[in-house]
Chains A and B, each alone.
Chain A
Amino acid sequence: MSSIEVNGKQFEVDEEGYLANLNEWEPAVGEAMAAAEDQTLTDEHWDIINFLREYYEEYQIAPAVRVLTKAVGKRLGKEKGNSKYLYELFPYGPGKQACKYAGLPKPTGCV
């Protein structure tokens, strides 16, 4: 298994760059993964990433797209509660890209 180095610490990641052990995650890991994909994480990104982590902690899975857009709508205003807003933040898809930065496993299946 390969690994990435963040602030002098080694983190194991899988073939696609997802963190192997989600308990090891720290914000700097998310920052480093984003930087490697030429993305800078703003407060807007962190709102989503933090919600994903909270949801994962409770349900052991990333939220479904409508659960996410609804939560974002409630927290950040209705105009942001849609997948268009999320794709603007995470062009590779909120499910996959945001999960990666949040240290969560990639959603699998027909998605």
Chain B
Amino acid sequence: MADYEIPETHEFPIIPSIMEGAMAHSTPFVAGEEFQSDMGFPFTEETGQLIDGWKEKFLELMKEKLSKYRSLQVFMDICVKCGACTDKCHYFIGTSDPKNMPVARQDLLRKVYRRYFTFAGKYFPKLVGAIDLTEDVIKDMYSYYHQCSECRRCAVFCPFGIDTAEVTMAARDMLAMIGMGQKYSNQIIPKVHKIGNNLGLPEPALVDTLEGLEEEVEEDIEVKVRFPLDEKGAEILLVTPSADFFAEPHIDGLIGYAKVFHAAGVTWTMSSKASEAANFGLFIGNYEHMREISLRIRDAAKDLGVRRIIFGECGHAWRVAYNHLNTLAGPWDFLDQNYPIPQHILEFTKDCLDRDILNIDKSENDHMTLTFHDSCNIARASRIGDTPGSQFTTPRQVIQAVCNNYHDMAADTIHDATFCCGGGGGLLTDDLMELRIKGAQPRMESLKNVVADHGVTHMAAICAICKSQFTKVLPYYGMTMDQIVSVHQLVSNAIILEGQGEEAGDSDDADEAA
């Protein structure tokens, strides 16, 4: 493990004393010509340089955004500096850098807004904290708008509902358009367009991976559970993050979905064209890419002739799907209108549990005591179900239907006050590892407290980014990477399929946890 200063965790949260510039050095790799051009974004000969006429371009884009997005205009104008957001950001708590206070992060853009778009700022800049747009200001923006995971916790506490995520998205988009796109996101999005998923997993590799999974499950439980790909005429199209094919513990969640579909007796398929739920267009604030990525799902659903679309465990994908799928890629009049469009896999599984059509042996999870990490994008931007707060209750009801031992983390760190994992919003990249470790501090603190006080052994999540992030950061906080599990991994452990041998229950987790 690399050598970083790991923030301390405490029995109760402590707001740190500020350390100016503590994270000024944190800056992700800038996308070079190869990735900027793949995205249709401008680039310069030397990576990290600004394009000719960058200042005019930036201000022109800002003007356009202010008129197009009323929310942004309001967010620029309405902040009264009350301070309610200052101690709410996990990156501030973990790094002590005052520019990671949401108000300060917004102010990077707001100061420029005042200078060029308000009367007072144009004529009396010093009086209203307005500043000129310079290269240094751009560098500061690039650094600190990539220290925001767009998780919106600050917005919950803002009396005006100012959404830093939207400010961050707008800023990142403008930065990308003057040559300062972020490598991680801009390397990934073209892979989705060309190959179908973030990983760049081509169809033959996907086929091979799914065949391997079928064999693995059959060896394990002696039942042939299918992982169908591109099967026309199936009822359901499953759109899931490609990490579900690739990484642990994600893949155990995928096995869980397949077992639930098997037990429910529905026909389903995945698509090689839409082999990705994630939509990084959201992270970089680019509507066109977000739309193009969403349209693949529409094309796949039409090509395959499905009647329903279900999303797997992916936080921001569900935010995009729940909020925007209809405007981005609708109308969905060709789908069965009797079901939610789109539907979350947890809604499907919960419905099966409610109808009592799954054979569940909760004791298969008795070697674990679970807690649940509310993923930010699901907690603060969507529902899973059709009642207020169902995004909090549905996952917990499913976990408790398949596990005997469960305990929530502290109330001010869950539900809509949940802390980000520290790696969301396009920051899940190795070049931001220090930020990711420090930003995980509040979540690690609340987890450690339920581990100590209530014997919690594992934390379940429903987001590919959260799962990967925790796999990486748990060891820095004295825990182990296998303490993060997929919710449908728990379902997979507990579900007993017809024909499943008595002896054949999944005992791997028990061995590992022992």
Q: Is the CB of A66 within 8 A of B243?
A: no
Binds B, one of A27-35, A40-48, A57-65: A57-65
The answer to whether the Cβ of B359 comes within 8 Å of any Cβ in the partner chain is: no
Which residues in chain A, 62-103, are within 8 Å of chain B measured between CB atoms? 63-67, 70, 83-84, 87, 91, 95-96
Main secondary structure of the interface of B (DSSP, over half): helix
Known: A66-B213, A96-B430. A110 touches B200 (CB 8 A): no
* A108: B residues at CB distance < 8 A: 184, 187-188, 191, 198-200
Known: A108-B191, A109-B188, A110-B428. A61 touches B200 (CB 8 A): yes
Chain A contributes a number of interface residues (CB within 8 A of B) equal to: 23
* B198: A residues at CB distance < 8 A: 108-110
The answer to whether the Cβ of B135 comes within 8 Å of any Cβ in the partner chain is: no
The answer to whether the Cβ of A36 comes within 8 Å of any Cβ in the partner chain is: no
A residues near B, CB below 8 A? 15-16, 58-61, 63-67, 70, 83-84, 87, 91, 95-96, 107-111
Q: Is the CB of B213 within 8 A of A109?
A: no
Q: Is the CB of B212 within 8 A of A111?
A: no
A-B contact pairs, 5 of them (CB 8 A): A60-B205, A61-B199, A64-B201, A109-B197, A110-B314
* B200: A residues at CB distance < 8 A: 60-61, 108
20 extra interchain contacts, Cβ-Cβ under 8 A, other than A63-B205, A109-B241, A111-B246?
A59-B204, A59-B205, A64-B205, A64-B247, A64-B251, A66-B213, A66-B251, A67-B208, A67-B212, A70-B212, A91-B1, A108-B187, A108-B191, A109-B188, A109-B191, A109-B198, A109-B242, A110-B247, A110-B278, A111-B468
Give Cα distance in the complex from A95 to B113, angstroms.
43
The answer to whether the Cβ of B169 comes within 8 Å of any Cβ in the partner chain is: no
Give Cα distance in the complex from A111 to B248, angstroms.
9
Give Cα distance in the complex from A58 to B248, angstroms.
23
Nearest opposing residue in chain A for B424, CB measure:
A110
The answer to whether the Cβ of B117 comes within 8 Å of any Cβ in the partner chain is: no
Q: Is the CB of B247 within 8 A of A61?
A: no
Interface size band for B: 35 or more
The proximity string for B residues 107-124 relative to A, scoring 1 for CB distances below 8 Å and 0 otherwise, is 000000000000000000
Give Cα distance in the complex from A63 to B246, angstroms.
8
Q: Is the CB of A110 within 8 A of B243?
A: yes
Give Cα distance in the complex from A61 to B29, angstroms.
23
Give Cα distance in the complex from A111 to B472, angstroms.
10
A55 to chain B, nearest CB (A): 8
A2 to chain B, nearest CB (A): 12
Contact of B212 among A15, A60, A66 (CB under 8 A): A66
Give Cα distance in the complex from A110 to B212, angstroms.
21
